[in-house]
Protein backbone atom coordinates (compact mmCIF):
# COMPACT_ATOMS: atom_id res chain seq x y z
CA UNK A 1 0.00 0.00 0.00
CA UNK A 2 1.38 3.44 -0.90
CA UNK A 3 2.05 5.55 2.19
CA UNK A 4 -0.06 8.67 2.48
CA UNK A 5 1.79 11.61 4.01
CA UNK A 6 1.27 11.94 7.77
CA UNK A 7 -0.90 8.87 7.92
CA UNK A 8 -0.63 7.37 11.38
CA UNK A 9 -2.71 4.41 10.27
CA UNK A 10 -0.26 3.63 7.48
CA UNK A 11 2.57 3.72 10.02
CA UNK A 12 0.65 1.32 12.26
CA UNK A 13 -0.05 -1.03 9.35
CA UNK A 14 3.65 -1.07 8.38
CA UNK A 15 4.62 -1.65 11.99
CA UNK A 16 2.17 -4.55 12.24
CA UNK A 17 3.85 -6.22 9.31
CA UNK A 18 7.40 -5.52 10.40
CA UNK A 19 6.91 -6.93 13.89
CA UNK A 20 4.78 -9.99 13.09
CA UNK A 21 1.32 -8.76 14.10
CA UNK A 22 -0.64 -8.87 10.83
CA UNK A 23 0.22 -10.08 7.32
CA UNK A 24 -1.77 -9.88 4.12
CA UNK A 25 -3.27 -13.33 3.42
CA UNK A 26 -1.42 -15.31 0.72
CA UNK A 27 1.06 -12.47 0.39
CA UNK A 28 3.47 -14.42 -1.83
CA UNK A 29 0.64 -14.60 -4.37
CA UNK A 30 0.05 -10.84 -4.07
CA UNK A 31 -2.55 -11.24 -1.38
CA UNK A 32 -6.28 -11.79 -1.19
CA UNK A 33 -8.29 -8.62 -0.78
CA UNK A 34 -9.65 -7.92 2.70
CA UNK A 35 -8.33 -11.18 4.15
CA UNK A 36 -5.52 -11.08 6.70
CA UNK A 37 -3.38 -13.47 8.73
CA UNK A 38 -2.18 -12.85 12.26
CA UNK A 39 1.52 -13.42 12.85
CA UNK A 40 3.24 -14.57 16.01
CA UNK A 41 2.61 -11.34 17.94
CA UNK A 42 -0.82 -10.59 16.51
CA UNK A 43 -2.09 -14.08 17.32
CA UNK A 44 -1.07 -13.64 20.98
CA UNK A 45 -2.63 -10.18 21.18
CA UNK A 46 -5.84 -11.38 19.55
CA UNK A 47 -6.06 -14.40 21.82
CA UNK A 48 -5.54 -12.25 24.92
CA UNK A 49 -8.40 -9.96 23.87
CA UNK A 50 -10.61 -12.93 23.02
CA UNK A 51 -9.92 -14.66 26.35
CA UNK A 52 -10.44 -11.44 28.26
CA UNK A 53 -13.86 -10.94 26.62
CA UNK A 54 -14.78 -14.58 27.18
CA UNK A 55 -13.89 -14.52 30.87
CA UNK A 56 -15.55 -11.11 31.36
CA UNK A 57 -18.77 -12.58 29.99
CA UNK A 58 -18.78 -16.17 31.18
CA UNK A 59 -16.67 -16.26 34.34
CA UNK A 60 -17.69 -12.90 35.74
CA UNK A 61 -21.42 -13.44 35.15
CA UNK A 62 -22.94 -16.51 36.80
CA UNK A 63 -25.90 -16.40 34.40
CA UNK A 64 -23.94 -16.27 31.12
CA UNK A 65 -22.62 -19.44 29.50
CA UNK A 66 -20.50 -19.87 26.39
CA UNK A 67 -21.06 -22.12 23.37
CA UNK A 68 -19.21 -22.90 20.16
CA UNK A 69 -21.60 -23.45 17.25
CA UNK A 70 -20.66 -24.59 13.74
CA UNK A 71 -20.05 -22.13 10.92
CA UNK A 72 -22.36 -24.02 8.57
CA UNK A 73 -26.00 -24.01 9.52
CA UNK A 74 -29.21 -25.24 7.93
CA UNK A 75 -29.96 -22.85 5.03
CA UNK A 76 -33.43 -22.11 6.39
CA UNK A 77 -31.76 -20.41 9.36
CA UNK A 78 -30.81 -17.55 7.04
CA UNK A 79 -34.29 -17.30 5.56
CA UNK A 80 -35.77 -17.15 9.06
CA UNK A 81 -33.21 -14.59 10.24
CA UNK A 82 -33.97 -12.32 7.28
CA UNK A 83 -30.43 -12.49 5.88
CA UNK A 84 -31.45 -14.02 2.55
CA UNK A 85 -33.87 -11.17 1.91
CA UNK A 86 -32.42 -8.29 3.85
CA UNK A 87 -28.68 -8.65 4.34
CA UNK A 88 -27.96 -6.21 1.58
CA UNK A 89 -26.05 -3.02 1.24
CA UNK A 90 -27.14 -0.39 -1.29
CA UNK A 91 -24.29 0.09 -3.71
CA UNK A 92 -23.51 2.13 -6.77
CA UNK A 93 -20.92 1.74 -9.53
CA UNK A 94 -19.01 4.44 -11.32
CA UNK A 95 -19.40 3.71 -15.04
CA UNK A 96 -16.02 5.18 -15.95
CA UNK A 97 -13.77 3.56 -13.35
CA UNK A 98 -16.03 0.49 -12.79
CA UNK A 99 -15.37 0.98 -9.10
CA UNK A 100 -18.14 -0.09 -6.74
CA UNK A 101 -19.04 1.94 -3.65
CA UNK A 102 -21.29 1.40 -0.71
CA UNK A 103 -23.68 4.32 -0.98
CA UNK A 104 -23.42 5.35 2.68
CA UNK A 105 -19.61 5.26 2.54
CA UNK A 106 -19.53 7.36 -0.63
CA UNK A 107 -21.76 10.04 0.87
CA UNK A 108 -20.00 9.95 4.26
CA UNK A 109 -16.61 10.46 2.60
CA UNK A 110 -18.00 13.49 0.76
CA UNK A 111 -19.58 14.87 3.95
CA UNK A 112 -16.21 14.66 5.72
CA UNK A 113 -14.77 17.13 3.19
CA UNK A 114 -17.51 19.73 3.76
CA UNK A 115 -17.64 22.22 6.60
CA UNK A 116 -19.17 20.84 9.77
CA UNK A 117 -22.73 22.17 9.36
CA UNK A 118 -23.00 21.18 5.68
CA UNK A 119 -21.53 17.75 6.44
CA UNK A 120 -24.06 17.15 9.20
CA UNK A 121 -26.93 18.24 6.99
CA UNK A 122 -25.84 15.87 4.23
CA UNK A 123 -25.55 12.94 6.67
CA UNK A 124 -28.97 13.55 8.16
CA UNK A 125 -30.53 13.70 4.67
CA UNK A 126 -28.75 10.45 3.80
CA UNK A 127 -29.93 8.74 7.00
CA UNK A 128 -33.54 9.74 6.32
CA UNK A 129 -33.37 8.37 2.76
CA UNK A 130 -31.67 5.15 3.90
CA UNK A 131 -34.32 4.69 6.59
CA UNK A 132 -37.00 4.97 3.88
CA UNK A 133 -35.08 2.67 1.45
CA UNK A 134 -35.45 5.55 -1.03
CA UNK A 135 -32.79 4.66 -3.62
CA UNK A 136 -33.95 7.18 -6.22
CA UNK A 137 -33.69 9.88 -3.53
CA UNK A 138 -30.18 8.73 -2.59
CA UNK A 139 -29.07 8.81 -6.21
CA UNK A 140 -30.49 12.32 -6.50
CA UNK A 141 -28.58 13.31 -3.35
CA UNK A 142 -25.33 12.04 -4.90
CA UNK A 143 -26.03 13.96 -8.12
CA UNK A 144 -27.15 17.15 -6.37
CA UNK A 145 -23.97 17.22 -4.28
CA UNK A 146 -21.76 16.58 -7.29
CA UNK A 147 -20.18 13.55 -5.62
CA UNK A 148 -17.42 12.11 -7.79
CA UNK A 149 -15.52 8.84 -7.98
CA UNK A 150 -12.01 8.94 -6.41
CA UNK A 151 -10.49 7.16 -9.38
CA UNK A 152 -12.18 8.48 -12.53
CA UNK A 153 -13.06 11.86 -11.04
CA UNK A 154 -16.47 11.69 -12.75
CA UNK A 155 -20.05 11.59 -11.47
CA UNK A 156 -21.20 9.10 -14.12
CA UNK A 157 -23.03 6.66 -11.82
CA UNK A 158 -25.21 3.57 -12.27
CA UNK A 159 -28.50 3.28 -10.40
CA UNK A 160 -28.31 2.12 -6.82
CA UNK A 161 -28.75 -1.62 -6.34
CA UNK A 162 -28.86 -4.02 -3.42
CA UNK A 163 -25.98 -6.47 -2.99
CA UNK A 164 -26.28 -9.51 -0.69
CA UNK A 165 -23.25 -9.92 1.52
CA UNK A 166 -23.46 -13.65 2.24
CA UNK A 167 -20.98 -16.14 0.80
CA UNK A 168 -22.51 -19.43 -0.27
CA UNK A 169 -21.20 -22.84 -1.21
CA UNK A 170 -22.52 -26.35 -1.93
CA UNK A 171 -22.81 -29.07 0.67
CA UNK A 172 -21.99 -32.63 -0.47
CA UNK A 173 -19.49 -33.77 -3.05
CA UNK A 174 -21.70 -33.89 -6.15
CA UNK A 175 -24.20 -31.22 -5.32
CA UNK A 176 -25.10 -28.54 -7.75
CA UNK A 177 -28.72 -28.16 -6.69
CA UNK A 178 -29.95 -24.85 -5.32
CA UNK A 179 -31.43 -26.84 -2.40
CA UNK A 180 -27.94 -27.89 -1.29
CA UNK A 181 -26.73 -24.33 -0.99
CA UNK A 182 -25.25 -23.51 2.40
CA UNK A 183 -23.97 -20.18 3.61
CA UNK A 184 -20.88 -19.22 5.51
CA UNK A 185 -22.46 -17.55 8.52
CA UNK A 186 -22.43 -13.74 8.29
CA UNK A 187 -22.81 -13.43 12.08
CA UNK A 188 -22.41 -15.80 15.01
CA UNK A 189 -25.71 -14.79 16.65
CA UNK A 190 -27.91 -17.32 14.84
CA UNK A 191 -25.92 -20.24 16.28
CA UNK A 192 -27.00 -18.95 19.69
CA UNK A 193 -30.67 -18.50 18.77
CA UNK A 194 -31.08 -22.00 17.35
CA UNK A 195 -29.47 -23.43 20.50
CA UNK A 196 -31.51 -21.31 22.88
CA UNK A 197 -33.68 -24.18 24.15
CA UNK A 198 -30.81 -26.73 24.20
CA UNK A 199 -28.82 -24.48 26.50
CA UNK A 200 -31.77 -23.29 28.58
CA UNK A 201 -32.96 -26.84 29.26
CA UNK A 202 -29.61 -28.61 29.75
CA UNK A 203 -28.17 -25.72 31.77
CA UNK A 204 -31.43 -25.20 33.72
CA UNK A 205 -31.04 -21.51 32.96
CA UNK A 206 -33.53 -19.02 34.35
CA UNK A 207 -34.37 -15.75 32.64
CA UNK A 208 -32.56 -13.38 32.53
CA UNK A 209 -29.59 -15.34 31.19
CA UNK A 210 -27.04 -14.99 28.42
CA UNK A 211 -25.28 -17.16 25.86
CA UNK A 212 -21.90 -16.01 24.59
CA UNK A 213 -19.89 -17.12 21.60
CA UNK A 214 -16.68 -16.22 19.76
CA UNK A 215 -16.25 -17.32 16.18
CA UNK A 216 -15.62 -16.62 12.54
CA UNK A 217 -18.11 -14.76 10.37
CA UNK A 218 -17.95 -14.05 6.65
CA UNK A 219 -19.26 -11.12 4.63
CA UNK A 220 -18.64 -10.36 1.01
CA UNK A 221 -18.05 -6.70 1.79
CA UNK A 222 -18.39 -4.45 -1.25
CA UNK A 223 -15.83 -1.97 -0.13
CA UNK A 224 -13.20 -3.98 1.64
CA UNK A 225 -10.66 -1.41 2.64
CA UNK A 226 -9.35 -0.37 6.00
CA UNK A 227 -6.96 -3.14 6.98
CA UNK A 228 -8.47 -5.43 9.65
CA UNK A 229 -11.35 -3.00 10.25
CA UNK A 230 -13.41 -4.42 7.39
CA UNK A 231 -12.54 -7.94 6.36
CA UNK A 232 -14.32 -10.60 4.37
CA UNK A 233 -13.44 -13.22 6.97
CA UNK A 234 -13.42 -11.97 10.53
CA UNK A 235 -14.23 -12.92 14.09
CA UNK A 236 -17.09 -11.77 16.27
CA UNK A 237 -17.63 -11.96 20.01
CA UNK A 238 -21.36 -11.95 20.60
CA UNK A 239 -23.63 -12.35 23.57
CA UNK A 240 -27.39 -12.76 23.49
CA UNK A 241 -29.14 -11.92 26.73
CA UNK A 242 -32.61 -13.49 27.03
CA UNK A 243 -35.08 -11.40 29.04
CA UNK A 244 -38.73 -11.02 29.93
CA UNK A 245 -40.70 -9.03 27.31
CA UNK A 246 -41.23 -5.48 28.51
CA UNK A 247 -37.89 -5.30 30.37
CA UNK A 248 -35.83 -4.57 27.26
CA UNK A 249 -35.27 -0.85 27.94
CA UNK A 250 -33.65 -1.38 31.31
CA UNK A 251 -31.48 -4.29 30.08
CA UNK A 252 -30.46 -2.32 27.01
CA UNK A 253 -29.22 0.47 29.29
CA UNK A 254 -27.55 -2.06 31.59
CA UNK A 255 -25.59 -3.60 28.72
CA UNK A 256 -24.60 -0.21 27.27
CA UNK A 257 -23.09 0.69 30.61
CA UNK A 258 -21.49 -2.72 31.20
CA UNK A 259 -19.89 -2.81 27.80
CA UNK A 260 -18.45 0.72 27.90
CA UNK A 261 -16.94 -0.09 31.31
CA UNK A 262 -15.28 -3.14 29.74
CA UNK A 263 -13.89 -1.02 26.91
CA UNK A 264 -12.24 1.33 29.38
CA UNK A 265 -10.43 -1.60 30.99
CA UNK A 266 -8.57 -2.13 27.70
CA UNK A 267 -6.38 0.80 28.70
CA UNK A 268 -8.29 3.23 26.47
CA UNK A 269 -9.55 6.51 27.98
CA UNK A 270 -13.26 7.39 27.99
CA UNK A 271 -12.86 10.34 25.59
CA UNK A 272 -11.72 7.99 22.85
CA UNK A 273 -15.19 6.37 22.83
CA UNK A 274 -18.55 7.54 21.65
CA UNK A 275 -22.08 6.11 21.58
CA UNK A 276 -23.83 6.45 18.24
CA UNK A 277 -27.59 5.83 18.39
CA UNK A 278 -29.04 4.32 15.22
CA UNK A 279 -31.63 6.27 13.28
CA UNK A 280 -32.24 3.51 10.77
CA UNK A 281 -32.96 0.40 12.81
CA UNK A 282 -32.20 -3.07 11.44
CA UNK A 283 -35.24 -5.19 10.62
CA UNK A 284 -35.05 -6.95 14.00
CA UNK A 285 -34.33 -4.10 16.41
CA UNK A 286 -36.40 -1.74 18.60
CA UNK A 287 -33.30 0.17 19.79
CA UNK A 288 -29.66 0.02 18.72
CA UNK A 289 -26.41 1.87 19.18
CA UNK A 290 -22.75 1.49 18.33
CA UNK A 291 -19.77 1.97 20.56
CA UNK A 292 -17.35 3.92 18.38
CA UNK A 293 -13.63 4.41 18.82
CA UNK A 294 -11.70 7.44 17.63
CA UNK A 295 -9.36 5.80 15.07
CA UNK A 296 -6.31 7.71 13.84
CA UNK A 297 -6.94 9.42 10.47
CA UNK A 298 -10.61 8.29 10.36
CA UNK A 299 -12.20 9.58 13.57
CA UNK A 300 -15.03 7.74 15.31
CA UNK A 301 -15.98 4.35 13.80
CA UNK A 302 -18.03 1.41 15.06
CA UNK A 303 -16.34 -1.31 17.08
CA UNK A 304 -19.33 -2.84 18.85
CA UNK A 305 -23.08 -2.90 18.34
CA UNK A 306 -25.63 -3.17 21.14
CA UNK A 307 -29.05 -4.14 19.87
CA UNK A 308 -32.43 -4.65 21.45
CA UNK A 309 -33.63 -7.41 19.12
CA UNK A 310 -37.12 -7.96 20.57
CA UNK A 311 -38.42 -11.53 20.09
CA UNK A 312 -37.79 -11.28 16.35
CA UNK A 313 -35.22 -14.07 15.97
CA UNK A 314 -36.78 -16.66 18.27
CA UNK A 315 -40.25 -16.01 16.83
CA UNK A 316 -38.97 -16.36 13.28
CA UNK A 317 -37.14 -19.60 14.09
CA UNK A 318 -40.30 -20.85 15.77
CA UNK A 319 -42.27 -20.03 12.64
CA UNK A 320 -39.79 -21.57 10.17
CA UNK A 321 -38.80 -24.64 12.21
CA UNK A 322 -42.32 -25.25 13.57
CA UNK A 323 -40.70 -26.00 16.94
CA UNK A 324 -41.76 -24.18 20.08
CA UNK A 325 -39.09 -21.83 21.36
CA UNK A 326 -40.84 -20.54 24.45
CA UNK A 327 -39.75 -20.29 28.04
CA UNK A 328 -41.89 -21.14 31.04
CA UNK A 329 -41.58 -18.39 33.60
CA UNK A 330 -42.35 -19.95 36.98
CA UNK A 331 -42.78 -16.58 38.69
CA UNK A 332 -45.27 -15.34 36.10
CA UNK A 333 -46.69 -18.83 35.63
CA UNK A 334 -46.77 -18.41 31.84
CA UNK A 335 -44.97 -19.30 28.63
CA UNK A 336 -43.47 -16.60 26.44
CA UNK A 337 -40.91 -16.06 23.69
CA UNK A 338 -38.07 -14.16 25.41
CA UNK A 339 -36.81 -10.80 24.21
CA UNK A 340 -33.11 -10.39 23.49
CA UNK A 341 -30.45 -7.77 24.08
CA UNK A 342 -27.36 -8.45 21.99
CA UNK A 343 -23.82 -7.19 22.40
CA UNK A 344 -21.77 -7.80 19.27
CA UNK A 345 -18.14 -6.80 19.02
CA UNK A 346 -15.66 -7.46 16.22
CA UNK A 347 -12.52 -9.15 17.53
CA UNK A 348 -10.36 -7.92 14.66
CA UNK A 349 -11.69 -4.37 15.01
CA UNK A 350 -10.86 -4.54 18.70
CA UNK A 351 -7.33 -5.66 17.84
CA UNK A 352 -7.06 -2.70 15.49
CA UNK A 353 -8.42 -0.35 18.16
CA UNK A 354 -6.00 -1.64 20.80
CA UNK A 355 -3.08 -1.35 18.36
CA UNK A 356 -4.11 2.18 17.34
CA UNK A 357 -4.34 3.33 20.93
CA UNK A 358 -1.06 1.68 21.91
CA UNK A 359 1.09 2.93 19.02
CA UNK A 360 3.33 5.88 19.84
CA UNK A 361 6.38 7.35 18.11
CA UNK A 362 8.54 9.11 20.69
CA UNK A 363 11.38 11.53 20.16
CA UNK A 364 13.91 10.83 22.90
CA UNK A 365 16.64 13.16 21.61
CA UNK A 366 18.85 14.95 24.09
CA UNK A 367 21.39 17.75 23.60
CA UNK A 368 24.04 15.05 23.12
CA UNK A 369 22.33 12.68 20.73
CA UNK A 370 19.35 12.07 18.53
CA UNK A 371 17.15 9.19 19.59
CA UNK A 372 13.61 7.93 19.08
CA UNK A 373 11.53 4.86 19.65
CA UNK A 374 8.26 3.28 18.60
CA UNK A 375 6.44 1.87 21.57
CA UNK A 376 3.21 -0.10 21.81
CA UNK A 377 1.71 0.85 25.16
CA UNK A 378 -0.61 -2.14 25.54
CA UNK A 379 -2.44 -2.64 28.81
CA UNK A 380 -0.21 -5.29 30.45
CA UNK A 381 -2.96 -7.94 30.50
CA UNK A 382 -3.31 -7.70 26.70
CA UNK A 383 0.38 -7.53 25.76
CA UNK A 384 1.55 -10.49 23.62
CA UNK A 385 4.64 -10.93 25.79
CA UNK A 386 4.58 -9.93 29.43
CA UNK A 387 8.23 -10.28 30.40
CA UNK A 388 11.53 -10.27 28.51
CA UNK A 389 14.43 -11.93 30.32
CA UNK A 390 17.77 -10.51 29.20
CA UNK A 391 21.14 -11.71 30.49
CA UNK A 392 23.66 -8.86 30.16
CA UNK A 393 26.25 -11.15 28.57
CA UNK A 394 26.39 -14.69 27.28
CA UNK A 395 29.10 -15.56 29.79
CA UNK A 396 29.79 -15.99 33.50
CA UNK A 397 26.71 -18.10 34.17
CA UNK A 398 24.28 -15.19 33.54
CA UNK A 399 22.26 -17.18 30.93
CA UNK A 400 21.80 -20.00 33.49
CA UNK A 401 20.22 -17.63 36.01
CA UNK A 402 18.08 -16.11 33.23
CA UNK A 403 16.88 -19.53 32.09
CA UNK A 404 15.94 -20.49 35.63
CA UNK A 405 13.80 -17.35 35.80
CA UNK A 406 12.24 -18.27 32.45
CA UNK A 407 11.40 -21.74 33.83
CA UNK A 408 9.79 -20.19 36.90
CA UNK A 409 7.67 -17.66 34.94
CA UNK A 410 6.81 -19.60 31.76
CA UNK A 411 3.84 -21.55 33.18
CA UNK A 412 2.21 -18.32 34.39
CA UNK A 413 2.60 -15.90 31.48
CA UNK A 414 4.29 -15.52 28.10
CA UNK A 415 8.00 -14.72 28.42
CA UNK A 416 10.73 -14.02 25.90
CA UNK A 417 14.44 -14.77 26.25
CA UNK A 418 17.17 -12.93 24.38
CA UNK A 419 20.92 -12.63 24.81
CA UNK A 420 21.95 -11.02 21.49
CA UNK A 421 22.86 -7.29 21.03
CA UNK A 422 23.23 -4.51 23.55
CA UNK A 423 20.66 -4.14 26.28
CA UNK A 424 19.53 -0.81 24.74
CA UNK A 425 18.75 -2.47 21.40
CA UNK A 426 16.97 -5.32 23.12
CA UNK A 427 14.79 -2.85 25.09
CA UNK A 428 13.83 -1.07 21.85
CA UNK A 429 12.77 -4.33 20.23
CA UNK A 430 10.59 -5.16 23.24
CA UNK A 431 9.09 -1.62 23.16
CA UNK A 432 8.16 -2.18 19.52
CA UNK A 433 6.14 -5.29 20.38
CA UNK A 434 4.72 -3.80 23.56
CA UNK A 435 6.37 -5.94 26.26
CA UNK A 436 5.60 -4.12 29.52
CA UNK A 437 8.50 -5.53 31.60
CA UNK A 438 12.13 -6.39 30.88
CA UNK A 439 14.45 -7.94 33.43
CA UNK A 440 18.21 -7.73 33.07
CA UNK A 441 20.40 -10.31 34.77
CA UNK A 442 23.89 -8.90 35.42
CA UNK A 443 26.96 -9.64 37.53
CA UNK A 444 25.42 -8.06 40.59
CA UNK A 445 22.61 -10.65 40.32
CA UNK A 446 25.20 -13.35 41.05
CA UNK A 447 26.26 -11.53 44.21
CA UNK A 448 23.01 -10.27 45.76
CA UNK A 449 20.23 -12.01 43.80
CA UNK A 450 18.71 -8.76 42.53
CA UNK A 451 17.84 -7.81 38.94
CA UNK A 452 17.05 -4.62 37.01
CA UNK A 453 13.38 -4.37 36.18
CA UNK A 454 12.76 -1.94 33.32
CA UNK A 455 9.28 -0.48 32.76
CA UNK A 456 8.22 0.03 29.14
CA UNK A 457 6.17 3.25 29.39
CA UNK A 458 8.28 5.29 31.83
CA UNK A 459 11.55 3.57 30.82
CA UNK A 460 12.35 3.67 34.52
CA UNK A 461 14.56 1.00 35.98
CA UNK A 462 14.50 -0.36 39.49
CA UNK A 463 16.45 -2.98 41.32
CA UNK A 464 14.25 -5.75 42.72
CA UNK A 465 14.89 -9.20 44.23
CA UNK A 466 15.09 -11.97 41.62
CA UNK A 467 12.60 -14.08 43.56
CA UNK A 468 9.98 -11.27 43.44
CA UNK A 469 9.92 -10.96 39.62
CA UNK A 470 7.21 -13.54 38.93
CA UNK A 471 4.80 -12.19 41.57
CA UNK A 472 5.38 -8.59 40.56
CA UNK A 473 4.50 -9.34 36.93
CA UNK A 474 1.52 -11.47 37.95
CA UNK A 475 0.20 -8.59 40.06
CA UNK A 476 0.50 -6.14 37.12
CA UNK A 477 -1.20 -8.37 34.55
CA UNK A 478 -4.20 -9.24 36.71
CA UNK A 479 -7.36 -8.96 34.62
CA UNK A 480 -10.03 -8.76 37.30
P1 LIG B 1 -20.49 -1.94 9.59
O2 LIG B 1 -21.61 -0.92 9.62
O3 LIG B 1 -19.15 -1.37 9.94
O4 LIG B 1 -20.50 -2.77 8.35
P5 LIG B 1 -22.25 -3.66 11.02
O6 LIG B 1 -23.14 -2.68 11.72
O7 LIG B 1 -22.73 -4.33 9.81
O8 LIG B 1 -20.80 -2.99 10.75
P9 LIG B 1 -22.72 -5.74 12.90
O10 LIG B 1 -23.51 -6.56 11.98
O11 LIG B 1 -23.44 -5.00 14.00
O12 LIG B 1 -21.79 -4.73 12.08
O13 LIG B 1 -21.55 -6.65 13.51
C14 LIG B 1 -21.08 -6.49 14.83
C15 LIG B 1 -19.60 -6.18 14.85
O16 LIG B 1 -18.88 -7.07 14.01
C17 LIG B 1 -19.25 -4.80 14.34
O18 LIG B 1 -19.40 -3.83 15.35
C19 LIG B 1 -17.80 -4.97 13.93
O20 LIG B 1 -16.95 -4.78 15.03
C21 LIG B 1 -17.73 -6.40 13.48
N22 LIG B 1 -17.73 -6.47 12.01
C23 LIG B 1 -18.79 -6.40 11.18
N24 LIG B 1 -18.41 -6.51 9.90
C25 LIG B 1 -17.06 -6.66 9.93
C26 LIG B 1 -16.06 -6.82 8.92
N27 LIG B 1 -16.37 -6.89 7.64
N28 LIG B 1 -14.75 -6.94 9.30
C29 LIG B 1 -14.41 -6.89 10.61
N30 LIG B 1 -15.31 -6.73 11.59
C31 LIG B 1 -16.61 -6.62 11.27
Residue 418 phi/psi, 5° resolution? Answer: -150, 135
The Cα 391–Cα 401 span in angstroms is: 8
* pLDDT score at 175: 56
Q: Record the pTM.
A: 0.89
Query: Do residues 415 and 403 lie in contact, with contact meaning Cβ atoms separated by under 8 Å?
Result: no
The Cα 300–Cα 27 span in angstroms is: 30
Residue nearest to atom 6 of ligand 1 (CA): 305
Query: Would you give per-residue pLDDT tens digits along the chain (480 residues)?
Result: 444 557 999 999 999 999 999 999 999 999 999 999 999 999 999 999 999 999 999 999 999 999 999 999 999 999 999 899 888 889 999 999 988 898 999 999 999 999 999 999 999 999 899 888 899 999 999 999 999 999 999 999 999 988 889 999 998 866 566 667 899 999 999 999 999 999 999 999 999 999 999 999 999 987 777 999 999 999 999 999 999 999 999 999 999 999 999 999 999 999 999 999 988 787 778 999 999 999 999 999 999 999 999 999 999 999 999 999 999 999 999 999 999 999 999 999 999 999 999 999 999 999 999 999 999 999 999 999 999 999 999 999 999 999 999 999 999 999 999 999 999 999 999 999 999 999 999 999 999 999 999 999 999 999 999 999 999 999 999 988
The Cα 418–Cα 440 span in angstroms is: 10
* pLDDT score at 2: 43
Query: Do residues 228 and 243 lie in contact, with contact meaning Cβ atoms separated by under 8 Å?
Result: no
Between the CA of 262 and the centroid of ligand 1 the distance, in Å, is: 19
* pLDDT score at 5: 59
Q: Could you give the domains of the chain?
A: 25-69+185-355 (3.30.930.10), 373-476 (3.40.50.800)
* pLDDT score at 1: 42
Ligand 1 surroundings by CB, under 6 angstroms = 187, 219, 221, 230-231, 234, 236, 302-305, 344-346, 348-349
Between the CA of 18 and the centroid of ligand 1 the distance, in Å, is: 27
Between the CA of 275 and the centroid of ligand 1 the distance, in Å, is: 15
Residue nearest to atom 23 of ligand 1 (CA): 346
Residue nearest to atom 29 of ligand 1 (CA): 230
Which of the listed residues 237, 346, 352 should we mutate to test ligand 1's pocket, taking the one with most ligand atoms within 8 A of CB?
A: 346
List of residues 6+ apart from 300 with CB closer than 8 A = 274, 276, 292, 293, 294
Query: Do residues 103 and 92 lie in contact, with contact meaning Cβ atoms separated by under 8 Å?
Result: yes
Residue nearest to atom 20 of ligand 1 (CA): 346
End-to-end CA distance of the chain: 40
Between the CA of 230 and the centroid of ligand 1 the distance, in Å, is: 7
Ligand 1 atom nearest to CA at 304 = 18
Residue nearest to atom 9 of ligand 1 (CA): 305
Residue nearest to atom 26 of ligand 1 (CA): 230
Query: Do residues 457 and 377 lie in contact, with contact meaning Cβ atoms separated by under 8 Å?
Result: yes
Ligand 1 atom nearest to CA at 301 = 3
Ligand 1 atom nearest to CA at 344 = 14
Between the CA of 60 and the centroid of ligand 1 the distance, in Å, is: 25
The Cα 44–Cα 38 span in angstroms is: 9
* pLDDT score at 374: 97
The Cα 350–Cα 364 span in angstroms is: 29
* pLDDT score at 361: 97
- For residue 122, give Cα distances in angstroms to 100, 113, 169, 267: 21, 11, 39, 35
The Cα 4–Cα 359 span in angstroms is: 18
Q: Does residue 208 have a cis bond before it (omega within 30 degrees)?
A: yes
Amino acid sequence: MAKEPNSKLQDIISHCKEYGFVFQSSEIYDGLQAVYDYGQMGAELKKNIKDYWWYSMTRMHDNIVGIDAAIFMHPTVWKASGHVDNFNDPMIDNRDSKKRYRVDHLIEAHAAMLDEAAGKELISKMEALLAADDFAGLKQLIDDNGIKCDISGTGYWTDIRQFNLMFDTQMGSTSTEEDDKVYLRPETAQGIFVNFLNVQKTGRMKIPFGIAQVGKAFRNEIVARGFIFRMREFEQMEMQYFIKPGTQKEWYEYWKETRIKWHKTLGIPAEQYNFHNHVKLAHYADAACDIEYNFPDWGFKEVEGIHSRTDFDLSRHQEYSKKKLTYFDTEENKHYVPYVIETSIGLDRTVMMVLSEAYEEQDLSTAEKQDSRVVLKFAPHLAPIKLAVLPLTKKDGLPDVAKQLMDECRPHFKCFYEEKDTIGKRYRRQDAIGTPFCVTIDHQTLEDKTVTMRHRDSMEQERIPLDKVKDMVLEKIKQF
